[in-house]
Structure 1
Amino acid sequence: MFEAWYATAMLALEAQKVVELRLVRLAWGGVDGQMEAQRMVNEKIGAAIEATGTLLAGGSPERVIDRYREHVRDNVRRLSLP
């Protein structure tokens, strides 16, 4: 039980970095900002579909959270590059 709570709390904290990095990219605007906005929407739809599939296939909410954390980690890496 504690592990699920901890993983959820960490996801919330880690996601804040992605929000920060995306807001900067969106604020700069231009083609990069437009591409990031489109990518963000596509990623959110894809992640929701993936999470639904995991749960419908009998996966645990903890597995969904772990997978979301992987997506967040990938986004931090990608958005942190110059």
Structure 2
Amino acid sequence: MFCSWWKFGMDATMLAFESNQVIGMRLLKLSGGGTAAQAEAQRMVSEKIMAAGEAAMVMATGGSTAKVMAGYRRKVQANARRLSRP
């Protein structure tokens, strides 16, 4: 029981750190303006809508908060990889 709570806490902490990194990279991209910034802004909004819908579906079908957290972390990590490429 303790291990599952510990893992959830660590995953939540890592999600916070990873999200902060992505927010910073997105702000840099948006501050540059132009078509790349516009595309990133549109991507950001559509991703958030899709992620919220997916999380709701996971919970509605009996999934756990840990499964929702894992889904968010996968998306955030993918964004970090994408945004860190030159």
TM-score, scaled to structure 1: 0.97
Partners of 1:73 and 1:14 in 2: CA distance: 7
Higher radius of gyration, 1 or 2: 2
CA–CA distance in structure 1, aligned partners of residues 83 and 14 of structure 2: 19
Moved over 6 A (4+): none
Q: Deviations over 1:27-49 (max 9, x none)?
A: 00100000000000000000000
Identity of aligned residues (%): 45
**Aligned-CA RMSD value:** 0.6
The CA distance in 2 between the partners of 1:76 and 1:4, in whole Å, is: 21
Q: Give, in whole Å, the separation in 2 of the partners of 1:24 and 1:40.
A: 14
Unaligned 5+ residue runs, structure 1?
none
Cα offsets for 1:25-80 (capped at 9, x unmatched): 00001000000000000000000000000000000000000110000110011111
Counterpart in the other structure of 1:12: 16
> 5+ residue gaps in structure 2?
none
Matches within 5 A, 1:60-75: 60-75=64-79
1:81 alignment counterpart: 85
What TM-score, normalized to structure 2? 0.93
